[in-house]
């Protein structure tokens, strides 16, 4: 298991010239190290990996690895819909020091169950570091069947799944099917406590970009069996969590970071700056919570 608790799905700041802002990444990494984040996931969905070139993606992973310097795990998003391409990215991420990989389902081509198995088996077999499956059917139109998660969990270095289905029946079925040590991470901030209450090990979180210590504490409460304390925070934060997804991620979270004076940078097309109504909604949520 790569980690327990709160892993941040780290944003990637871009300059006005649309270059990766490495100085801002350093500030964000330091912020997470100081505020109890348990793992950093770089170049995932929230990190806008789909708008970066391969050299940029690997350079960003290497930069985060160097800045973290072994203090917490760094997990690199290297999933893509072409298996050979994913293998190349995964090998490069391993070579620059990533502790593990996050592998989204191949999107658009919508592989069969057997195709998904071979895809993941091939990637996992090309590296020695641990791999986390990532199912997010709302984006990819592909869900990893529970029976396939069970098959894949038998591959030595496939060690967990980021479950962004939002379907607790699916999560419970996965938990029942896989070995005890196979990690299940919520991919949705609105169900951190429900997922962990049925045996999940933590969250890969968008919310943690702005409230890392709170997100860590929620997960830690669950890991310690204190679900009432965790639930209080889950309920309290629901308006903010909903606001963070009122436009496509990571548009709102970058807006929230701007409101909080954090270095979030620009977005790359086809993503654009949050609408004024989104800023207003986020500002109200943050003021109501006492963060502004």
Is 170 annotated in the active site?
Answer: no
According to DSSP, residue 191 is labeled G
**Pairwise CA distance, residues 278 & 256, whole Å:** 9
164 φψ region: left (φ > 0), alpha (ψ -120 to 50), beta (else)? alpha
Give the Å distances, CA to CA, from 88 to 83, 85, 111, 122: 9, 5, 20, 11
**Pairwise CA distance, residues 234 & 218, whole Å:** 8
Is 162 annotated in the active site?
Answer: yes
Q: CA angle, 80 as apex, 164 and 63 as ends, to 5°?
A: 90
Measured in Å, how far apart are the chain's first and last C-alpha atoms?
37
Given 4, 36, 134, 254, which residue is catalytic? 134
**Which of 136, 57, 133 is CA-nearest to residue 98?**
57
Given 162, 170, 175, 254, which residue is catalytic? 162
Q: In what helix (H) or strand (E) does residue 8 lie, and over which residues does it extend?
A: strand 5-9
Q: Known catalytic residues?
A: 134, 162
């Amino acid at each position: 298991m790569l980690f327990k608790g709160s892993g941040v799905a780290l944003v990637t700041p871009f300059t006005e010239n649309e270059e990766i802002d490495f100085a801002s990444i350093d500030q964000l990494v330091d912020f997470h190290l100081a505020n109890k984040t348990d793992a950093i996931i770089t170049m995932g969905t929230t990190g806008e990996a789909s708008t970066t070139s391969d050299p940029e993606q690997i350079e960003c992973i290497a930069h985060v690895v160097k800045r973290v310097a072994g203090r917490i795990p760094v997990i690199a998003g290297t999933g893509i819909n072409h298996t050979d391409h994913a293998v190349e990215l995964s090998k490069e991420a391993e070579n620059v020091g990533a502790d593990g990989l996050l592998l989204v389902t191949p999107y658009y081509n919508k592989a069969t169950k057997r195709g998904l198995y071979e895809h993941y088996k091939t990637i996992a077999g090309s590296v020695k570091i641990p791999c986390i499956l990532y199912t997010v059917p709302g984006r990819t139109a592909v869900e990893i069947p529970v029976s396939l998660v069970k098959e894949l969990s038998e591959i030595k270095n496939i060690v967990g799944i980021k479950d962004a289905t939002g379907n607790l029946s699916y999560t419970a079925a996965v938990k029942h099917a896989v070995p005890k040590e196979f990690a299940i991470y919520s991919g949705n901030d609105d169900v951190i406590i429900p997922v962990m209450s049925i045996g999940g090990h933590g969250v890969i979180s968008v919310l943690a970009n702005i409230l890392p210590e709170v997100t860590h504490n929620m997960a830690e409460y669950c890991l310690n069996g204190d679900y009432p304390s965790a639930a209080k925070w889950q309920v309290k934060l629901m308006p903010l969590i909903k606001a963070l997804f009122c436009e496509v991620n990571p548009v709102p979270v970058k807006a929230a970071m701007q409101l909080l004076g954090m270095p979030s940078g620009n977005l790359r097309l086809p993503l654009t700056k949050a609408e004024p109504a989104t800023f207003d909604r986020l500002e109200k949520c943050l003021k109501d919570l006492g963060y502004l």
